[in-house]
Structure 1
Amino acid sequence: MGFERKLEGMLVIGVCVGLIITVIFMGHEHYFLGFHVLYGAIGVGFFLLTTKILSVIQREGKQDD
């Protein structure tokens, strides 16, 4: 359980850093680049959510055996 908590914390920190970078880029004149970074951060967030859901499903499947 401890390793999973650390991994989850690192993933949350990574997403937060991505969002902070997005805010910094959007503060400049390159709005187009900022939106791409924002969409990338959202995509990473959805990917992390999907992996979390799949790992829970996999754990439930192993418990059934």
Structure 2
Amino acid sequence: MLVYVQRFRDSDSACTVQWRARGERELQTSYFRAHNVYEALDKLFSGRDQSTLTVFSVVLNPSS
């Protein structure tokens, strides 16, 4: 487990993405582990039509 944390988990950062699907009124929040915000957006859009989602914010969360 320690090896996993040192090699993989610590190399990724936690990201928070706030978004809304077309036709929906409620804002959604998703959390991803990614190397950067672009990778987090790729994970959000995976399997979805990009034109149906509106992204309001992408935040790189501080690590403890």
Larger Rg: 1
**Under a length normalisation based on structure 1, what TM-score does the superposition of the two structures give?**
0.25
TM-score after normalising by structure 2: 0.25
**Higher RCO structure (Cα 8 Å, ≥6 apart):** 2
